[in-house]
C-alpha cells in the first residue's frame, strides 16, 4: 500500500455523517493524512471540533475563506490528495456531481480535482431507488467515479432497504485496495459484456441469453488488481461494475464503434454475447399480424465480428481474450474459434440449459490457449473472474 497517503474526506449532510468519525480514526491508524471538508448540512450532525480533533488537521468549510483563496486554496486542496472520499454521499451531493454543479466548497473541490474519487452513498431507501438518483448513479459510473454501497438494512427514518452507508471498516478496506500497487496498476484493459439487441421493430429485437454477470465480475476483478477498465456493455440486467469507465450500447455495430474508440489497451476481454445477425429491413413502427395469416419477411445480414476485427486490426492489444458459449463439442468448437478469430485465449463454457450457467451465479470454463485446453472447476462467477484476472496479470507483468 502507498504509505503516508493523503485522503481528502468530504463529509455530506446526513445522519450517517457520524460514521465518518470512525472512518477518520481508521485512516489515521493506518498512517494516512486526512484533509476533512464539512458541508453546511454535515455540521448539523458532526461538529468541526470533533472532526478536527480526530483528523489532527484544520477542517475546511467555506469556499470563500480569504486566507485560503489568496493562494487558490480550493484548487490546491482538490489536487494534493491521493484519493478523494465522499462519505456520506447524499442524494443532493450525487446530483451535484452528476450535473457538474459547483456552488459550495465540497462540490467545487469535486469539480476541480483530477484525483480518483470514491463515494459512499447514504440516503432513504425511496430516495436511493428514485429514478433520478439511479440516473445520477449511472452518470457517475460512466464518469469513472468509484462507488461503495449502499448497504441494505434498517434506517433512522424507520424504513428498511438499500440506502445505509457502508460501514467504516468496509470503506477503509476499499480505500486500502484503491491505494494499493496492484500488478495491473496503470494498465488499461477493455471488457465487453452483456447481450446486444438487434431491432426487428420498435418493440421486438434479437438477443442472446446473457445477464452480463460474468462480464461485471471480470471488470471488478481487474479493477481490484489496479487496472483502469473500460466496460462496454449491451443492455445487461446485471449491475454495472464499480470503478470502471462505463460505455452503454445496444447493437453489435454500436459495440464495435465503442470498442475501437476505447483503444489502445494492454488487453481486451470480449465477454459480450453479441448477436450474430441484424435485421436489414427492421420496421420503423410495430409490425402487425396480417389477418390473412401471412408471415412477415425478415431479411438478415451478419453483424461485424468484433473479436476478429480487433484481433487482426492495427490497434490490436497485446492480449486478446474471447469467450465461446457452446452447447456441444465445447473444446473442439472453442479451439477452432481461437484459430479462426486470431485471438490469444478463448474462455469456453457449456451453456446447455441444464447447466444453469447462462443467467446463473456459477460458471465452469475451459481456458483455451496456444498450449492447449485447461479445464477449471465449477466456481462462482466472481471466483472465475478473479482467476482469469490473475492469469491476465501474470501474462502482462
Active-site residue set = 157
Q: How far apart are CA 274 and CA 210, in angstroms?
A: 9
| DSSP-derived secondary structure for 201-265 | SSS-EE--S--SHHHHHHHHHHHHTT-EEEEEE-S-SSPPPTTSEEEE--SHHHHHHHHHHH---
Q: Which residues contact residue 254 at a Cβ distance below 8 angstroms, ignoring those fewer than 6 apart?
A: 196
Q: How far apart are CA 387 and CA 396, in angstroms?
A: 14
Closest CA to 281 of 195, 198, 196: 198
- Residues belonging to the binding site for CTP are 276, 286, 304-307, 323, 337, 341
| DSSP-derived secondary structure for 91-150 | HHHHHHHHHT---SHHHHHHHH--S-EEEEE---HHHHHSHHHHHHHHHHHHTT-EE--P
Task: Report DSSP state, residue 351.
Answer: -
Task: Report DSSP state, residue 192.
Answer: E
- Residues belonging to the binding site are 276, 286, 304-307, 323, 337, 341
- Is the separation of the CB atoms in 110 and 84 below 8 Å? yes
Check residue 270 and give left, alpha or beta (phi > 0: left; psi -120 to 50: alpha).
Answer: beta
Q: Between the CA atoms of 292, 277, 253 and 357, what dihedral angle is there, to the nearest 10 degrees?
A: 110
Closest CA to 243 of 228, 258, 259: 228
Amino acid at each position: 500500500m502507498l504509505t503516508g497517503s493523503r485522503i481528502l474526506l468530504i463529509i455530506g449532510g446526513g445522519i450517517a455523517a457520524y460514521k465518518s468519525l470512525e472512518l477518520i480514526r481508521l485512516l489515521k491508524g493506518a498512517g494516512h493524512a486526512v484533509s476533512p471538508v464539512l458541508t453546511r448540512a454535515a455540521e448539523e450532525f458532526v461538529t468541526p471540533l470533533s472532526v478536527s480533533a480526530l483528523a489532527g488537521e484544520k477542517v475546511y468549510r467555506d469556499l470563500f475563506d480569504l486566507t485560503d483563496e489568496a493562494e487558490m486554496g480550493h484548487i490546491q486542496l482538490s489536487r494534493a490528495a491521493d484519493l478523494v472520499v465522499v462519505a456520506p454521499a447524499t442524494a443532493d451531493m450525487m446530483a451535484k456531481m452528476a450535473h457538474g454543479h459547483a456552488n459550495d466548497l465540497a462540490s467545487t473541490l469535486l469539480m476541480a480535482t483530477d484525483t480518483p474519487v470514491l463515494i459512499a452513498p447514504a440516503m432513504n431507501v425511496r430516495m436511493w431507488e428514485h429514478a433520478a438518483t439511479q440516473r445520477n448513479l449511472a452518470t457517475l459510473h460512466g464518469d469513472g467515479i468509484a462507488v461503495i454501497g449502499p448497504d441494505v438494512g434498517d434506517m433512522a427514518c424507520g424504513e428498511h432497504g438499500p440506502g445505509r452507508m457502508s460501514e467504516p471498516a468496509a470503506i477503509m478496506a476499499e480505500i486500502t485496495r484503491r491505494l494499493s500497487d496492484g500488478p495491473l496498476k496503470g494498465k488499461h484493459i477493455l471488457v465487453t459484456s452483456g447481450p446486444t439487441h438487434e431491432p426487428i421493430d420498435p418493440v421486438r429485437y434479437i438477443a442472446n441469453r446473457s445477464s452480463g454477470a460474468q462480464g461485471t465480475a471480470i471488470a471488478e476483478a481487474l479493477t481490484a488488481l489496479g487496472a483502469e477498465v473500460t466496460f462496454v456493455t449491451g443492455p445487461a440486467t446485471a449491475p454495472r461494475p464499480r470503478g470502471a469507465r462505463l460505455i452503454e450500447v445496444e447493437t453489435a455495430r454500436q459495440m464495435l464503434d465503442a470498442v475501437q474508440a476505447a483503444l489502445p489497451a494492454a488487453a481486451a476481454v470480449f465477454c459480450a454475447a453479441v448477436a450474430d445477425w441484424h435485421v436489414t429491413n427492421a420496421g420503423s413502427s410495430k409490425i402487425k399480424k396480417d389477418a390473412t395469416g401471412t408471415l412477415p419477411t425478415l431479411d438478415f445480414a451478419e453483424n461485424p465480428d468484433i473479436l476478429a476485427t480487433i484481433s487482426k486490426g492495427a490497434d490490436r492489444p497485446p492480449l486478446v481474450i474471447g469467450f465461446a458459449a457452446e452447447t456441444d463439442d465445447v473444446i473442439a468448437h472453442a479451439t477452432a474459434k481461437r484459430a479462426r478469430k486470431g485471438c490469444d485465449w478463448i474462455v469456453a463454457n457449456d451453456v446447455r440449459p441444464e447447466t444453469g450457467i447462462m443467467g446463473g451465479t456459477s460458471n465452469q470454463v475451459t481456458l483455451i490457449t496456444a498450449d492447449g485446453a485447461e479445464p477449471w472447476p465449477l466456481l462462482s462467477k466472481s471466483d472465475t473472474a478473479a482467476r482469469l484476472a490473475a492469469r491476465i496479470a501474470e501474462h502482462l507483468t
